[in-house]
Structure 1
Amino acid sequence: MSAPLEHYGLIGDTTTVGLVSRYGSLDWLCLPRIDSDACFAKLLGRDDHGYWTIRPATAIRTLERRYRRDTLVLETEFACESGRVRLIDFMPPCVAPRDATRLVDEAHDVIRIVEGIEGEVPMHSDLRARFGYGRVIPWIQCAGGRATLTSGPAALAFSSPASLDPDWNAARLETNFAVRAGQRLPFTLTFYPSHELAPAHPVDAEQELARTERHWREWAGRCRYQGRWHDAVVRSLLTLKALTYAPTGGIVAAPTTSLPEELGGVRNWDYRYCWLRDSTLTLDALMRGGYLEEAQAWRDWLMRAVAGAPAQLQIMYGVAGEHRLTEIELPWLPGYEESRPVRIGNGAYDQFQLDVYGEVLNTLYDAHAHGLPDLPHTWDPIVEIVDFVEKSWQRPDEGIWEIRGGKQLHFTHSKLMTWVAVDRAVRMIEEFGVGGQHRLEKRLQRWRALREEIRLDLLDRGFNTRVGAFTQSYGSDALDASVLLIPHMGFLAADDPRMLSTVAAIEKGLTRDGLVLRYATETGVDGLPGDEATFLICSFWLADNYAMVGRLDEAEALLDRLVSLRNDIGLLAEEYSPELRRQLGNFPQAFSHIGLVNTAHIIEARRAGKEVSLPSAA
């Protein structure tokens, strides 16, 4: 059985990610890409779905773990009766093809170094790879301390400092050994295409460890934020970088699939894709952190992904901009804590969501405002997007939360983002001269009128006077946390009476133990049975609203609470259940870490009396 989410640590090489439990079990790893088939899938099933564990072969008295400072090198220290031992887990960063020598499809390495600290500790390594998300048993060839595991197009080369004891019936590789104080024993697992020769020699583990530490510390050292939450911000930025597919600049929402929003429930989705809804907040987090190159790579990925007809714009894409993300179920996996079904792919990719048009243009506007170099030939797509919004903004859609109930509504957040799309296009002309204002004067006049039409419509129909709040959709009494973004988008100031009453309504009707839900699932609007926990990014948005109106003590207290919900090594999932005191949903979640970075910056700026870099309110 898999461990609680809080027990997992993340290692990664900027093309894929592995999750290692507190007791040294690598339970999730997709190779060669973050969205490839998993070769270790115990996270979503049982032992026979694949894992690799290294742990003491004796009783463990105490256990501590940490990341080496400002890195993704994970250390777990076991204290046993006969001594103490340290397990060092990491993946050497891959180099993007544009930068140098190593191609994406070449070797990816997982390196695990066992270091003796005191006495002598008996240890056990057990590797049970299962390709195809735990379904396919590989062909194993073994000689001494080396082995290869092959299945279809994929293969793994395994190297152990001790002789392997293969269990052919169970298709697993075991090693029993002892480590004494001062010894360092390296285990390596290398992915390679099966049509190529296996690597002749294992990688130099110590050399790769030094390179990996240097890489991450140099990267973390570029962080500009030096405020009260510095360590939490740096850890969140490192996590965000780990969720980046370096060759393209795409950033996935999470490295996992089907981790449930409710234990035993059906709200289990594949998050190993790039959502347009995250684009502006991602860009802001990277720019505020001082990561211009990553922000530019994300903006460039965005423009490549959305290239084409605006009517075909999707809410999400693959890490290289893939369009087809067909959703299927994997019946042989029982799911995390029996939460079925397990899904790969995401059927929401072909939903119609109006908010994505605002996300794209808001990201381009922010890129200009932050001084990112212009991309050539972007103006024509901007014109096409706004022209499409002009014809389509009054259509119903499925909304930011990807409602699957088959009900299309006039979602308030969707209408807000159509206003954003038009507003940012106008501002790019007026403030930056994009496209040439004189040449576009007639279109500019029409767009200004359209912007005002959408604004009046939203104020008239989106604000429910009975509830005293902007509600989920036109004519609805239901609350929705997405309206907390209204001040972020510059539509209204945070201290506008309508926003103040909206915040009060959400505090009263859409929180559990002080944390914010996306919406009330009991309304049935999403057409799914069951419930979900509080959605962490929404609580960060509430803290932002507190800060923007000067409720700084409350903003800081809420941010401190959210920081305290991270696991012992600083990672956040998508959701948190106050009742269970557990993290839920896909893990770790980019959106949650983006929220932490942005909220810390907003509070620090407000505390210092500075303006936050948000568009001025209409």
Structure 2
Amino acid sequence: MACHNINDYAVIGDCHGIALIASDGRIDWCALPDIDSDPVLCRLLDDKQGGYLDTRPDEAFSTSRRYLPGTNVLETRLRGEHGAAVITDFMPVGRAPTDGGGGNFVQIVAPNWLIRVIDVTQGEMTFETSFRPCLSWGERSAQLRNIHGGVAWEGGCLLCDKGLEANEYWAHGRLRLRAGERARLILMPSMPRDTEVALASVNELLAITLAYWTEWSRRCRYKGPYMTEVVRSALTLKLLTYAPTGAIAAAATTSLPEVLGQRRNWDYRLSWVRDSTLTLFALAALGYHEEPEAFFHFVFQHAADGIIPSQIVYGLHGERELVEREKLFLEGFSQSKPVRVGNDAYRQKQFDVFGELFDWMLLRQSLGVELQDDQRALLRRTADYVATHWREPCSDFWEGRGAPGHHVYSKLMSWVALDRAQKLLQYESYVETMNAIVTEVHRHGIATAGYLRQQFDRNDIDALALRAPFLDFPLPPGCLQATLEEVSRQLDTGTGIYRYREGSGGAPKEGSFVACGFWLVDALLFAGRIQDARERLEKMLSQANDVGLYAEEVDPGSGRHLGNFPQALSHLGLIHSATLLEIVEHHGEHALAGTHSHRAQRANLVMEALCEANGWRQPAPATDSSVLDLAALLGAELW
């Protein structure tokens, strides 16, 4: 039976595919070769029809787990009455060699395999292996057949060096291991040319994968008190990048519910421009620049209709039509229907996305990367579009399915788009329009009590207002304080923040939104309430699961995670708050003024000083096994 608590899962991946592993070692979700592929294992969404892979001791056992330091390689330790074992799960990945030798961390080699290694460390243990793949989201059962070294079906194969037996739609086996003995399993989306060579390569693949992740995480420039949490969040964001195109998935899963038993179940295995640009701010603050450049090329490559972006969300391969379909034959996570594939939010018009993109472009330029003439022309046309259309109603940040409205955050971000366009393009034609936006926001977007509203001329509060201080938008005196007070009064759970109120004065039905909790930390820092910010950050950090991961929301009563998992917006919020706290600690709250570009530059100065104080130097480009050996190994007739 699949877990019915999202907290119980950990994630592994190779910047192509993804898998979720339960705390007892069961693999209940696996999408190969890509994050958005039809999953080969999806018991997460249906206990009966979803596929799974389980290697379970035939006796009662306890478990503990961790990621190997600085990596996305998961280690689960099991202890039973007769022995102890370690399960190591990973997806092989290494840097692709380039013409100049070495390689970067976005041009990678990955065979799109999931590998499980079982090592008995004490006594003797017998593992019952149970495996059932699925086709078409479980609508069809995969017909298994025996092959040398494992079992196969039309969608791939599972290899095991200790033997498996196919039984129509599922496979089973018994692995009896003594201390010092090892079993290897490989789940792959296609048949290898030589199963024995593939199984024999596991040790070397593991070494190369550990080297790749270790080298990447060592480049993190954050050296503050929350280094463990920041590095784990950075590694999680890296897992959600899709290497072939540079797109960044908002989460690894689809249809994990925001409210148990209800219909708020969405597909997040897509690349939202807004979430992606915010991810890039977080990575840039940590000193990572290759991933932002890959996404830059992705978003410009898929510009259309004379503006950028032409829509708020794309498929990981750049797909523009993301028609939402319901898999009604699946029961859903914890019986929360429907399971959705695709997301109709791609049809929405949102003006905040232009501000997010222009803000990131300004940051990119501040890091020394210049725009080409055609790119500048496209940005100019986009800014002109915003200047012409900003007064129109649009959908909001939260992508509600109701009628478009005049959302205050969208107006703020329209101003941001024009402000950053002027700085980027050295073009002063938007001053009059920007002044008009300020006038409209002050007149219609601020309640009598002084706080920022959710929509014009309505007194609803929205946690998005916590982001306003960092936009460099001219707010009236006292607005931030009034907004903090109203958020505290209406949205604060004591441990987290609801994103908005639901219904007419009723209590929200969903959990507190993880990213909003980190936004409160940021706003408190901007207001000079440093100790309050640090305390709230500690509360937010305590809500991660045992391996440092966050879903989209947290139930304030039980601490149970809700929504898709792991969620990029949650992890980038953690990085942003930890980074801003370091800036304030070293330079005071006044150092937070200005744009993201200013703060990123100050963050780099702070990180350089910390690195200098700790004797840390940026690692030199490597030409070791993580670059060359994987490409050579995978060329040795493995598939």
TM-score normalised to the size of structure 1?
Answer: 0.91
1:91 positional shift: 0.4
Quote the Cα distance in structure 2 between the aligned partners of 1:448 and 1:394: 16
Seen in structure 2, the aligned counterparts of structure 1 residues 356 and 97 have a Cα distance that, compared at 3 Å, is farther
Q: Secondary structure at the match of 1:463?
A: coil
Q: How does 1:582-601 map to 2 (within 5 A)?
A: 582-601=560-579
1:523 positional shift: 4.4
1:183 and 2:181 equivalent? yes
1:47 positional shift: 4.1
The answer (yes or no) to whether the contact 1:72–1:90 under 8 Å persists in 2 is yes
Quote the Cα distance in structure 1 between the aligned partners of 2:112 and 2:56: 23
1:76 and 2:54 equivalent? no
Q: How does 1:461-540 map to 2 (within 5 A)?
A: 461-465=444-448, 467-492=449-474, 496-523=477-504, 531-540=509-518
Tell me which residue corresponds to 1:262.
259
* Aligned with 2:172 (options 152, 171, 174): 174
The answer (yes or no) to whether the contact 1:32–1:105 under 8 Å persists in 2 is no
In the alignment, structure 2 segments of 5+ residues that lack a partner are 599-639
Q: How does 1:87-486 map to 2 (within 5 A)?
A: 87-93=87-93, 107-150=111-154, 155-168=155-168, 171-192=169-190, 201-203=197-199, 204-310=201-307, 313-375=310-372, 377-405=374-402, 407-430=403-426, 444-465=427-448, 467-486=449-468
Tell me which residue corresponds to 1:580.
558
The letter for the 1-side match of 2:128 is H
Quote the Cα distance in structure 1 between the aligned partners of 2:249 and 2:91: 18
The letter for the 2-side match of 1:534 is S
1:372 positional shift: 3.2
1:113-145 per-position Cα deviation (integer Å, ceiling 9, x unaligned): 000110001111111000211222223220353
1:558-584 per-position Cα deviation (integer Å, ceiling 9, x unaligned): 111111111100100000011232010
Tell me which residue corresponds to 2:625.
none
Q: Secondary structure at the match of 1:38?
A: coil
Of stretches 201-210 and 285-294 in structure 1, the one that deviates more from structure 2 is 201-210
The letter for the 1-side match of 2:20 is L
The letter for the 1-side match of 2:417 is A
Q: Secondary structure at the match of 1:39?
A: coil
Quote the Cα distance in structure 2 between the aligned partners of 1:607 and 1:102: 33
1:615 and 2:613 equivalent? no
The letter for the 1-side match of 2:382 is I
The answer (yes or no) to whether the contact 1:14–1:94 under 8 Å persists in 2 is no
1:303 positional shift: 2.1
Number of residue pairs aligned between Structure 1 and Structure 2? 589
Quote the Cα distance in structure 2 between the aligned partners of 1:523 and 1:132: 41
The answer (yes or no) to whether the contact 1:280–1:366 under 8 Å persists in 2 is no
The letter for the 2-side match of 1:581 is G
1:299 positional shift: 2.3
Q: Secondary structure at the match of 2:113?
A: strand
1:515 positional shift: 1.4
The letter for the 1-side match of 2:58 is A
1:466-502 per-position Cα deviation (integer Å, ceiling 9, x unaligned): x431110000111011111111111147x94111111
Tell me which residue corresponds to 1:559.
537
1:416 positional shift: 0.6
The answer (yes or no) to whether the contact 2:308–2:378 under 8 Å persists in 1 is no
1:292 positional shift: 1.1
1:234 positional shift: 0.2
Tell me which residue corresponds to 1:441.
none
The answer (yes or no) to whether the contact 2:263–2:336 under 8 Å persists in 1 is yes
1:297 positional shift: 1.4
Quote the Cα distance in structure 2 between the aligned partners of 1:364 and 1:225: 23
Seen in structure 2, the aligned counterparts of structure 1 residues 102 and 176 have a Cα distance that, compared at 3 Å, is farther
Q: Secondary structure at the match of 2:455?
A: coil
Seen in structure 2, the aligned counterparts of structure 1 residues 43 and 104 have a Cα distance that, compared at 3 Å, is farther
Q: Secondary structure at the match of 2:546?
A: coil
Q: Secondary structure at the match of 1:14?
A: coil
1:516-544 per-position Cα deviation (integer Å, ceiling 9, x unaligned): 1111121499xxx9831111111111100
The answer (yes or no) to whether the contact 1:307–1:381 under 8 Å persists in 2 is no
Quote the Cα distance in structure 1 between the aligned partners of 2:428 and 2:14: 49
Quote the Cα distance in structure 1 between the aligned partners of 2:362 and 2:80: 57
Quote the Cα distance in structure 2 between the aligned partners of 1:102 and 1:532: 36
The answer (yes or no) to whether the contact 1:89–1:113 under 8 Å persists in 2 is yes
Tell me which residue corresponds to 1:40.
41
Q: Secondary structure at the match of 1:159?
A: strand
Seen in structure 2, the aligned counterparts of structure 1 residues 602 and 492 have a Cα distance that, compared at 3 Å, is farther
Q: Secondary structure at the match of 1:323?
A: coil
Quote the Cα distance in structure 1 between the aligned partners of 2:140 and 2:296: 38
Seen in structure 2, the aligned counterparts of structure 1 residues 111 and 130 have a Cα distance that, compared at 3 Å, is same
The letter for the 1-side match of 2:501 is A
Seen in structure 2, the aligned counterparts of structure 1 residues 373 and 297 have a Cα distance that, compared at 3 Å, is farther
The answer (yes or no) to whether the contact 1:144–1:164 under 8 Å persists in 2 is no
The answer (yes or no) to whether the contact 2:524–2:530 under 8 Å persists in 1 is yes
Quote the Cα distance in structure 1 between the aligned partners of 2:450 and 2:508: 28
The answer (yes or no) to whether the contact 2:354–2:414 under 8 Å persists in 1 is yes
1:30 positional shift: 1.4
Of stretches 421-430 and 255-264 in structure 1, the one that deviates more from structure 2 is 421-430
Quote the Cα distance in structure 2 between the aligned partners of 1:136 and 1:107: 26
Quote the Cα distance in structure 2 between the aligned partners of 1:478 and 1:58: 55
1:198 positional shift: 7.8
1:254 positional shift: 0.1
The answer (yes or no) to whether the contact 1:16–1:34 under 8 Å persists in 2 is yes
The answer (yes or no) to whether the contact 1:96–1:246 under 8 Å persists in 2 is no
1:408-433 per-position Cα deviation (integer Å, ceiling 9, x unaligned): 21000010111011100111134xxx
1:265 positional shift: 1.1
The letter for the 1-side match of 2:595 is P
Q: Secondary structure at the match of 2:554?
A: strand
1:430-464 per-position Cα deviation (integer Å, ceiling 9, x unaligned): 4xxxxxxxxxxxxx443111111112211221111
The answer (yes or no) to whether the contact 1:157–1:199 under 8 Å persists in 2 is no
Quote the Cα distance in structure 1 between the aligned partners of 2:108 and 2:505: 44
1:276 positional shift: 1.6
Higher RCO (CA < 8 A, seq sep 6+): 2
Among all aligned residue pairs of Structure 1 and Structure 2, give the percentage whose two residues are the same amino acid.
35
The answer (yes or no) to whether the contact 1:114–1:179 under 8 Å persists in 2 is no
Quote the Cα distance in structure 1 between the aligned partners of 2:20 and 2:152: 22
1:375 positional shift: 4.6
Quote the Cα distance in structure 1 between the aligned partners of 2:308 and 2:581: 38
In the alignment, structure 1 segments of 5+ residues that lack a partner are 431-443
The answer (yes or no) to whether the contact 2:438–2:474 under 8 Å persists in 1 is no
The letter for the 1-side match of 2:468 is I
Seen in structure 2, the aligned counterparts of structure 1 residues 599 and 449 have a Cα distance that, compared at 3 Å, is same
* Aligned with 1:550 (options 528, 531, 550): 528
